[in-house]
Amino acid sequence: MSRPDPEADPGVEVRAGGGVVWRRDARGEVEVLVVHRPRYDDWSLPKGKCDAGESYRDAAVREVAEETGSTCRVGRELPDVRYLDHKGRAKRSRYWAMEHVSGHFEPNDEVDEVRWLAPAAASALLTYPHDRPVVAALSDLLTGS
């Protein structure tokens, strides 16, 4: 049985999946991918709503590919984020560590720019404070902290 469409029922929690996409630069330092969404004029982590019957993880893989062009190796799940979306609905976004394997970004309707940044710089650029602990969790995972 499919879940009700969150757009049609504001009482239903919006489910979203996303990734903290990372790679190592030429010096071996970790870089994190952040996306600019022109619709909201914000900087965020790549994520999107789950389709009916779709798992959070599958949505995360699909949305990262659609928004960034990246094919990734999916790693461990990171902390989730809960907040009210721009329509005032409860939203839960679950994230995974995703190592960039291949792919190239092409601007699209949802994302017009991406930046590869050191984790601290990515956190500073992110528009929403609730996204910052997810980047910190990736850093801790990769450094063994």
pLDDT given for residue 5 in this prediction = 45
**Bridge partners, residue 113, by sequence:** 36
The total domain count for the chain is 1
Neighbours of 118 (CB within 10 A): 14
Q: Evaluate whether residue 61 is within a structural domain.
A: yes
Q: Evaluate whether residue 130 is within a structural domain.
A: yes
**Bridge partners, residue 91, by sequence:** 14, 83
Q: Evaluate whether residue 135 is within a structural domain.
A: yes
Q: Evaluate whether residue 99 is within a structural domain.
A: yes
pLDDT given for residue 10 in this prediction = 55
**Bridge partners, residue 33, by sequence:** 116
Q: Which tokens is 25 given?
A: 């630069």
Q: Are 99 and 78 in contact (CB under 8 A)?
A: no
Q: How far apart are CA 142 and CA 128, in angstroms?
A: 23
Q: Evaluate whether residue 125 is within a structural domain.
A: yes
- Domain hosting 117: range is 14-143
pLDDT in tens, 6-40: 444 556 799 999 999 999 999 999 999 999 999 99
Q: Evaluate whether residue 4 is within a structural domain.
A: no
pLDDT given for residue 1 in this prediction = 41
Mean pLDDT of 107-123: 97
Query: pTM (2 decimals)?
Result: 0.90
Q: How far apart are CA 105 and CA 69, in angstroms?
A: 5
Q: Kindly report the average pLDDT of the chain as a whole number.
A: 92
Q: Evaluate whether residue 7 is within a structural domain.
A: no
Q: Evaluate whether residue 5 is within a structural domain.
A: no
Percent of the chain with pLDDT over 90: 88
CATH code, 115: 3.90.79.10
